[in-house]
Amino acid sequence: MVKKLRGLIRSEGIIVSNQILKVDSFLNHQIDPLLMYEIGEAFAAIYKKEGITKILTIESSGIAPAIMTGLILKVPVVFARKQAPSTLSTDFYQCEIFSYTKKKTVPLIVASSFLRSDDKVLIVDDFLANGEAARGMVDLIRQAGAKLTGIGIVIEKSFQSGGKTLRARGIRVDSLIRIDSLSDGVVQFADDE
């Protein structure tokens, strides 16, 4: 799966800038369900002995890999919303993050009924850049009094600060793909893969 994902990133990924990789053909717009299933299997294999009770992600691009992980671990998947729908219950956890793609501060909201103090939570997301999305989700888990077990990331851009900051806080981060650089129009993968 990691090999397949690397191949797809090389053949179909579009390097928008030194900082941003577009993978719209299989992850962020069109979705490759089999690949998502294999990603789910990979995260499930890493965390199968951890007694995970819930997967937490953010709408919208995290949902596909998260739901496959939840399918295999047989646990519910909850996605943090970036805006409060009128149907949301009045009881919720909320924080603010700086959205990497929207370039502005957005709220992160989860109804309190879906994150409980006895939950053991695995966060799953598509990309890790500066770690704002993950920081927000960690904060929501803290507000709920739940236990964070780890963070599963499909593509970590290790030249940005998120992974380092989270690991320095003692948080377990497992990334399937790590990219060291997008400079000069070339995707350079971390060589330990």
Sign of CA dihedral 139, 152, 32, 44: negative
- Which parts of 113-132 interact with ligand 5GP (CB under 6 A)? 125-132
100: contact with ligand 5GP by CB under 6 A: yes
Q: Is 144 in the site for ligand 5GP (CB under 6 A)?
A: no
Decide if 56 contacts 82 (C-beta within 8 A): no
Token pair for 74? 């047989």
Q: Is residue 62 within 8 Å of 124, Cβ to Cβ?
A: yes
CB of 133 to ligand 5GP, least distance (A): 4
Phi, psi (5° rounding) for residue 21? -115, 130
Residues 70-99: x where in contact with ligand 5GP by CB under 6 A, - otherwise, as a string: ------------------------------
Q: Pick between residue 40 and residue 131 the one whose CB is nearest to ligand 5GP.
A: 131
The site for ligand 5GP, by CB under 6 A, has a size of 21
CB of 163 to ligand 5GP, least distance (A): 9
Rounded Cα–Cα distance for residues 91 and 50 (Å): 29
Whichever of 5 and 128 has its CB closer to ligand 5GP, that residue is 128
Residues 28-47 that bind ligand 5GP (CB under 6 A): 28
Question: In the structure encoding, which two tokens stand for residue 112, read together?
Answer: 């309190």
CB of 177 to ligand 5GP, least distance (A): 12
> How far apart, in whole angstroms, are the C-alpha atoms of residue 41 and residue 91?
33
d(CA 140, CA 80): 9
Q: Which residues bind ligand 5GP (CB under 6 A)?
A: 20-23, 28, 58, 61-62, 100-101, 125-134, 162
